[in-house]
Amino acid sequence: MLYKDNKRAEQENQEDQSCNWNGKNILLVEDDPVSMEYFKEVLAPTRVGILVAENGEQALKQFGGDVSPDLVLMDIQLPDISGLEVTREMKRVKPQIPIIAQTAHAMTEDREKCIRAGADEYISKPIAIDDLLVIINRFI
Ligand code: MN
């Protein structure tokens, strides 16, 4: 019984160590409510703090607000300002904050555009949970 409990505690520890972002904050920039819910669900077990923005204007407001994010997950297709433009502006203000761009299209030129705009990494939708966590873990 005790052995089992230890074993379980050990496993939980290992999971925590890989993706425990307690005390950190991620800014989710996403206008699609379904995708937003998906990201929130995937990130919930990591205990990361979540800031949300549904458009470019909100994203820049959150970015410059009291709680500075440790990482930004940036949808490139936004209703108001292009995510590329928002990325450029964020990198101009605080270049040290990592930005992971994400788009629904997996065109090779998308990746180039995002990287040129200043994004640190690029992922295309649909995004597998493991891939997302591994990529965020590299930058957060
Ligand atoms: Mn979008």
Q: What is the pLDDT of residues 15-27, one digit of tens each?
A: 445 789 999 999 9
Task: Please say if the pLDDT value at position 29 is more than 90.
Answer: yes
Task: Considering only residues 1 and 59, tell me which one the structure prediction assigns the higher pLDDT.
Answer: 59
Strands 25-29 and 121-124, bridge-based pairing: unpaired
Terminal-to-terminal C-alpha distance of the chain: 37
Mean pLDDT of 75-87: 96
DSSP label at residue 88: H
Min mean pLDDT across 78-92, 96-110, 121-135 is at 96-110
Task: Considering only residues 28 and 10, tell me which one the structure prediction assigns the higher pLDDT.
Answer: 28
Mean pLDDT of 97-117: 87
Ligand 1 center to 31 CA (angstroms): 5
Ligand 1 center to 102 CA (angstroms): 9
Ligand 1 center to 23 CA (angstroms): 27
pTM: 0.85
Ligand 1 center to 68 CA (angstroms): 22
Q: How far apart are CA 64 and CA 72, in angstroms?
A: 12
Residue 89: how many CB atoms within 10 A of its CB?
17
Residue linked to tokens 């101009």? 92
Task: Considering only residues 11 and 118, tell me which one the structure prediction assigns the higher pLDDT.
Answer: 118
